[in-house]
Structure formats: C-alpha cells, structure tokens
Structure 1
Amino acid sequence: MRAEPPAWAPGPAQAAALLEEAADLLVLHRDFAAAVERCEAGCDSLGPGPGPGHESFAEVKCSLCVVGIQALAEMNRWREVLSWVLQYYHVPEHLPPKVLELCILLYSKVREPQVMLEVGGSWLGSQANRSLPEFGSLLELYLARVLLPLGRFGAAEELVRGCPALDSERRLQLLGTIGDSRGRWRQEEETRPEAEERQDPAAETLLGVLSQKLLTMLTLLRRTLRSMSNHFCLLPYKKMLLATFLLYLVVVRLDPASPTSLPFIYKLVQLFRQAWAAVLSPVHRPPIGD
C-alpha cells in the first residue's frame, strides 16, 4: 500500500500554491501566524538558496519572503525579520533587492537602522550585485535610511565616490546631501549642550520657587495650629495628619516619576523635617507610647 504524499510536498508548484495561500491569509483573513507558516513551508520546498536549478524559482522565493516579512511585522515581531530571512539566503549578498529594500524600510521605520548597517554594506559591496538595475536606488536608500541617520558621513562619501552605477551629476548631488546632513548633525551637537545649560537654571529657579511656596505654606500652617490651640484642645495626631496630607498633595502634583522632580522631593523631605520640628514644639509634642 502506497503512503500518502505529504500535504506540502517539495517542489516549485507547491511553493507557488503556498505563496497564494499565504497572501490570502495575510490580506483577507489577517491570520499572520498561519501566513508565516505557509511562507516557511514554501521556502523550504525550494531548497537552500541560490544555485543551479533554482534560478527560475527565485521570484517565488522572494515573494514568499516579502509576505513573511509583512506578516511578522504585523505581529510586532520585526526583531526576527532579518534572521528569519537570512535562514533562507544564508548571507546578505544573496538577498534579493526587494527583500533588502523592505528590511531597510522596516528597521528605519522602527528607528533601528543600525540593524541594517553591516547587512546593507555587505550587499552593496558585492561585485555581483553592482550589475543589478536596482543597485543605484538601493544605495541611495541605504544612505538616506541607514548611514546618514547614524552619522556615518565618511562611509557615505566613500560609498558614493566608489559607486560606478552613479553618473557624475548624481554623485555630486548625493555628496551635497551628505554635506548638508553633516552640517545639521554638527549644529545639533553644538546646540544640545546649550539647551541643557538653559534648562538647568530654569529647573533650579522652579525648584526655588516651589520650595519657598512650601515653606510659606508650612509656616502658615504652624501659625494656624498655634492660634487654634489657644481655643481648642487639639490632639497632636491631627497636626501630623494635616501636615502629611499637605506633603502628599505637593508630591503627587509634582509627578515623582519625572526625573526633574527627584532633587525637589529630596529637598522637600528636608524642609518637611524642619517644619515638622517647628510645628511640634516640645510643649505640644505627642508623648511616646509603648
């Protein structure tokens, strides 16, 4: 009795069918995990990367990877994308232009361009890839989304000058863009310390104002308690309750989670201790119980 063939038998026809199924799962059914599963099965059926006998199936494999990348991104698993793709192409130089483009755009969008720094450099440095019609556009994308945001201006200029796919006019334009980006980068570096210096005196001024207000409020509280003690028999714990409640209101309104509020809270504790010692004079200090 013959054994039944597996549902996902290896072969280009099965890979094409899995590609169509994965696209439906991605777009129509929004079942991203199942779409990734179909893409993996399709890539496995096509064999381990480029080589004799696989050239005619390169487009199907590329499309499977594109669908898989989109499905992983939809599941917020973008950190797995590069390693997931490289398990089917093994080295960055073998990545199809469309897959490389999609990876650069993805990691740029999530503000992690450094992930593609080495991969993109290896792909662009391959002599075999320089003859591809997409080489020039990918070089410009790599410059704009990876090198310039990371401040790699020297590497960007070297890459542009050594690219034979660029004519002299386009090369000058890109070198001008790199120069403009370097200028903006330096300007931001110079203005950043000045902004921090301007922010520190402002924070100290605000801290001083708030500290003075708190001290004034506690002084008024002390006077009020003394005035009331002449007419009512207040218990000492009422003083503590009112002062603690005042401290709670001030601290909560300042948002202790903010880093700028930490030094103020420290000073606030010191002020509270001093005010508390003044409010609870030895005459009204509560007795110590067991």
Structure 2
Amino acid sequence: MPGDPPAWSPAPAQAQAQAQAQAQAQAAALLEEAADLLVLHRDFAAAVEKCEAGCDSLAAGAGPGPGPESSAEVKCSLCVVGIQALAEMNRWREVLSWVLQYYHVPEHLPPKVLELCILLYSKVGEPQVMLEVGSSWLRDQTNKTLSEYGSLLELYLLQVLLPLGRFEGAEELVCGCDVLDSEQQLAFLGTIGESRCQWSQQEERRSAAEEQHDAATESVLGALSQKLLTMLKLLRRALRSMSSHFYLLPYKKMLFATFLLYLVVVRLDPASPTSLPFVYKLVQLFRQAWAAVLSPIHKPAIRE
C-alpha cells in the first residue's frame, strides 16, 4: 500500500556473507561426496566432477575481497581430492593445469597443493614441470611468511632442482633466501655439494660406459668390414679366373655352338616328325663343336 513502509532488505555485506556461507556449505557437501567416491567407491571420474562443482560453487559465492579461511580450506581439500583422483586415472599430465584454473597463478597455490604436485611429478619422472611453478612460489614474499616454507624449499631442492642438475640455481635460491638462518643455509649447501659430486660421478660412469660401447661397436664393425673385404677379394679372384678361362676359348666356336643350341631349342619344333632327322644331325654337330671347344688344346695352362 502507498502508506506502508518499504520492505526490509539485508545490507549488501550481509547478503554477500549469506551467499558465501551457502556456497561454502554446498562445497563442503560436495567435498564429502567426492571423498566417498574416491576412497569407498573408487569412482575417480565422478570424484573429479564433484571437486570441480565444489570449486565452481566457491567461486560463484566469493565476494570481491578474499574469502574466509574456512572457504580456502574447503577449496584446498577439493583440489587435493581432485589431484588424487586424476593421478589414479593416470591423468597426471592434467594436474597442474587443472589446479591453476582455480588458483590462476602459482604464487597462490596452497602449500599442501604445491607439495602434492611436486611429489606427483617427481614420482612420474617429470620434475621439470614444477621448475618454474616452484621457483615462482618460493620467491613470493607472502609465501615466505608461511610455516611450511622451509619444508617446501627443501622438497623443491631434493625433488626438482637437484635431480635436474640445477646446482647453481639451487645455491642461488638458498643463499638469497632471507628466511633461512646461517645453519640452515650451510646444511642446504652441503646437501647441494654432495648431490653435485654424485652427479659428476654418474656422468663419469656414463661417459665410460658410452666409450666402452663405442669401442665394442667399432671392433664389431671392424671385424665385419674385414670379413666383407676378404669375401670381395675371393670373389674378385674367382671372377678373374673365370674371365681368363673364357678368354682362352675360341669365340667363333662358342658363337657357333650357341647358334646351334638356339636352332634346336627355339626355332625347331621337336614334336614334328619331319624335324627329327635334322634335329639329330644338329645334335651331332653340336656335340662335335662342343668337344672341339673343350679340347685339351684350348684348356688354360696350369701354372706351377
């Protein structure tokens, strides 16, 4: 009615708090369902879907400022469950990009999420994936105030930098970290030095093994080449002997014998009765010509 006072409406801040509370409750319920799907039912694909729905719910209910601590914990737990489900499906290549779509930049990753990512990619033998992500997270000033910073720094050194042989980068990171005291820096530098020595020894053993393999390959190829050369020499001698033998035969008699053979086999029809006497005479002539060709007079002399 015109005279009635306006209906009461909550303040914008209160309405935003209610929306965040509802989103958090919905995300917590989805987190519980995702955990059940992961652990009890082993339905990893459905678990990932629940985690994605929970993260989307928190994003939709978030205000312009940072959300409450409880919402951040729920979001981190959703990502932890999602990482485990993706790893179970052997979709570990998607883990980092999947996580960053909810945190956008590496510096905002929660310590637990960063730890799981480092361990996962180290386990599958791809630590270089976390090289830039870990470096960006550790160099962020806000992250240096976290209690987990020291353990993550050690994990990053042992699982990413040192396996990749990035010793100079590791020393630079440790020496430039003002969070560590002198004793911690000396301990980390000692670990880096030991890893460098082991790396050098492995490189020397690898080089020695490669040299031995190359030497063995060369010896095998040399033996095969020597055998092939011997066979070629024998073949050349045989061809030379055959050529010298045929060179001593009279060419006219050889051509005549070849022509007679051509007449008998190709030009005449042996099944025809009229051709039998002629064929018989040609065969006799062929035998006489062949005997003359291979007579002892034309055989090559035997060299002593």
TM-score clears 0.5: yes
Choose which of 6, 27, 30 in structure 1 pairs with 2:42. Answer: 30
Distance (whole Å) between structure 2 residues aligned to residue 119 and residue 271 of structure 1:
62
- Which consecutive residues of structure 1, in runs of 5 or more, have no partner in the other structure? 1-8, 216-266, 283-290
What's the counterpart of residue 18 of structure 1? Answer: 30
Deviation at 1:192, TM superposition (A): 2.5
Deviation at 1:15, TM superposition (A): 0.4
Deviation at 1:54, TM superposition (A): 3.6
**Aligned runs of 1:24-173 on 2, under 5 Å?**
24-47=36-59, 51-173=65-187
What's the counterpart of residue 177 of structure 1? Answer: 191
**Against the structure 1 CA distance between its residues 93 and 202, is the aligned structure 2 distance closer, same or farther, given a 3 Å change threshold?**
same
- Which consecutive residues of structure 2, in runs of 5 or more, have no partner in the other structure? 1-20, 243-304
Does the 8 A contact of 1:10 with 1:46 survive in 2? Answer: no
SS of 1:11 mapped into structure 2: helix
SS of 2:191 mapped into structure 1: helix
Deviation at 1:59, TM superposition (A): 0.6
Q: Which moved more, 1:94-103 or 1:42-51?
A: 42-51
Does the 8 A contact of 1:46 with 1:54 survive in 2? Answer: no
Deviation at 1:10, TM superposition (A): 6.4
**Aligned runs of 1:237-252 on 2, under 5 Å?**
none
Q: Letter of the aligned partner of 1:39 in structure 2?
A: C
Tell me how large the CA RMSD over aligned residues is: 3.1
Distance (whole Å) between structure 1 residues aligned to residue 209 and residue 193 of structure 2:
24
Does the 8 A contact of 1:93 with 1:129 survive in 2? Answer: yes
Deviation at 1:272, TM superposition (A): 10
Distance (whole Å) between structure 2 residues aligned to residue 272 and residue 21 of structure 1:
76
Q: Letter of the aligned partner of 1:81 in structure 2?
A: V
Deviation at 1:185, TM superposition (A): 1.9
Distance (whole Å) between structure 1 residues aligned to residue 94 and residue 223 of structure 2:
50
2:204 counterpart of 1:190: yes
Structure with larger Rg: 2
Q: Give the number of aligned pairs.
A: 219
